[in-house]
């Protein structure tokens, strides 16, 4: 069971979920954070770690100040959160959007993380101006988007008819906030790629083999851009292997974290 509390960071109240026991670990959730938290992957991490999982501004029950406009802003907020918690040189697991935010934090403060596990992170553009590195999930047909995101679309389904109204509202707000922060420039920070050499902690770049949002070639390019990274893939999973293949994803992440 997780417990939630709230911390005020840069004038905004953020919801923080805490679960597990052991050495501290920062868990930076994906845009599908509700599915992340319900996954056996997170439960497995909690068997060996005291997990701190902040909900980003506009996600969960966290406030969303008007001045927060990008993952870059969120990274500074979370660095302040870790300072307030007295945490430094700890491992981080970043999932999709969370992986992007983890790297934004790591390039700003080289000593904040001891190890960095990234699962299908967004955040950079490897190709040229006319190359599509990241699929357009906002204006493409829903059937296409689902096929890019999921190898097994059943894993993404939620019964909104029986879900509590508050949780339905949170889901809708999460989508809105994800679009607000990642629409322009689309799903990346143009400056981040040039800063990745500052990430000196060992990194694992883990990728769903069937990811259609950002392919394995995108993931391999990410790993090559990080000084101390290795690339691994997860079979029978697309953009969210922590949800589609939680056991295989957990095994690789746990082995890396030690």
- pLDDT, averaged across the chain: 96
CA distance 101 to 244: 22
Asked if residue 256 has pLDDT above 70, the reply is yes
Dump pLDDT digits (tens) for 46-74.
999 999 999 999 999 999 999 999 999 99
Query: According to the model, what pLDDT value does residue 84 have?
Result: 97
pTM: 0.97
Query: According to the model, what pLDDT value does residue 138 have?
Result: 94
| Antiparallel, parallel or unpaired: β 49-54 and 90-95 | unpaired
Dump pLDDT digits (tens) for 89-120.
999 999 999 999 999 999 999 999 999 999 99
Residue 240, both tokens: 């969210």
Q: Which residues pair with 54 in a beta bridge?
A: 16
Contacts 24+ apart (CB under 8 A), 158-166: 158/34, 158/35
What domains does the chain contain, in order, with CATH numbers? Answer: 3-257 (3.40.50.1820)
Question: In the 8-state DSSP scheme, what is residue 123?
Answer: B
Query: According to the model, what pLDDT value does residue 94 have?
Result: 98
Query: According to the model, what pLDDT value does residue 1 have?
Result: 61
In this structure, the number of other CB atoms found within 10 A of the CB of residue 208 comes to 31
């Amino acid at each position: 069971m997780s417990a939630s509390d709230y911390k005020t960071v840069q004038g905004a109240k953020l919801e923080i979920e805490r679960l597990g026991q052991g050495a501290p670990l920062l868990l930076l959730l994906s845009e599908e954070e509700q599915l992340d938290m319900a996954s056996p992957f997170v439960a497995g991490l909690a068997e060996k770690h005291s997990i701190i999982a902040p909900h980003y501004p506009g996600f969960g029950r966290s406030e969303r100040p008007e001045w927060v406009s990008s993952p870059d802003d969120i990274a500074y907020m979370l660095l302040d959160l870790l300072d307030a918690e007295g945490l430094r040189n700890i491992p981080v697991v970043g999932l999709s959007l969370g992986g992007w935010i983890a790297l934004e934090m790591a390039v700003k403060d080289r000593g904040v993380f001891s190890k960095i596990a990234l699962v299908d992170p967004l955040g950079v553009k490897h190709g040229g101006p006319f190359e599509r590195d990241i699929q357009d999930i906002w204006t493409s047909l829903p059937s296409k988007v689902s096929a890019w995101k999921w190898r097994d679309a059943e894993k993404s389904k939620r019964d909104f008819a029986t879900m509590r109204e508050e949780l339905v509202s949170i889901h809708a707000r999460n989508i809105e906030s994800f679009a607000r922060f990642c629409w322009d420039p689309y799903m990346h920070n143009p400056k981040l790629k040039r800063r990745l050499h500052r990430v000196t902690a060992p990194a694992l770049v883990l990728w769903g083999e069937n990811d259609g949002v950002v392919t394995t070639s995108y993931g391999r390019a990410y790993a090559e851009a990080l000084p101390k990274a290795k690339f691994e893939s997860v079979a029978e999973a697309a953009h969210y292997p922590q949800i589609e293949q939680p056991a295989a994803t957990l095994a690789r992440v746990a082995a890396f974290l030690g």
